[in-house]
């Protein structure tokens, strides 16, 4: 006869503690630059493609370059503000 008084002990689940450091970036600078390059190029092409039929090549390409470069301005502006706030 099997001993019915044996109880199965459930293993204690350790709560894993993940120390979160909010000052460390979650994307490397190299990865961010690659993402920014692809995004800004895609936006510049999309804007130019939308503007060229209505306003011509010169305005289409100019606005594409403008909006593509604005992504870089926002990115570097955010880096600058973050650097100033952390001091």
Boundaries of domain holding 75: 34-85
Asked if residue 68 belongs to a domain, the reply is yes
Asked if residue 21 belongs to a domain, the reply is no
Say how far apart CA 48 and CA 50 lie, in whole Å.
Answer: 5
Number of domains observed in the structure of the chain? 1
Asked if residue 15 belongs to a domain, the reply is no
pTM assigned to the model: 0.64
Asked if residue 59 belongs to a domain, the reply is yes
Asked if residue 24 belongs to a domain, the reply is no
pLDDT in tens, 31-64: 989 999 999 999 999 999 999 999 999 999 999 9
Say how far apart CA 7 and CA 11 lie, in whole Å.
Answer: 12
Token look-up 């008084």 returns 5
Asked if residue 25 belongs to a domain, the reply is no
């Amino acid at each position: 006869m099997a001993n019915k008084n044996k109880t199965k002990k459930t293993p204690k689940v350790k709560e894993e503690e993940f120390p979160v450091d909010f000052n460390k970036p979650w994307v490397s600078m190299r990865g961010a630059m690659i993402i920014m390059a692809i995004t800004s190029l895609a936006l510049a092409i999309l804007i130019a493609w939308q503007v060229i039929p209505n306003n011509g090549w010169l305005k289409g390409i100019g606005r594409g370059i403008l909006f593509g470069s604005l992504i870089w301005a926002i990115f570097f502006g955010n880096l600058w503000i973050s650097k100033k706030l952390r001091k």
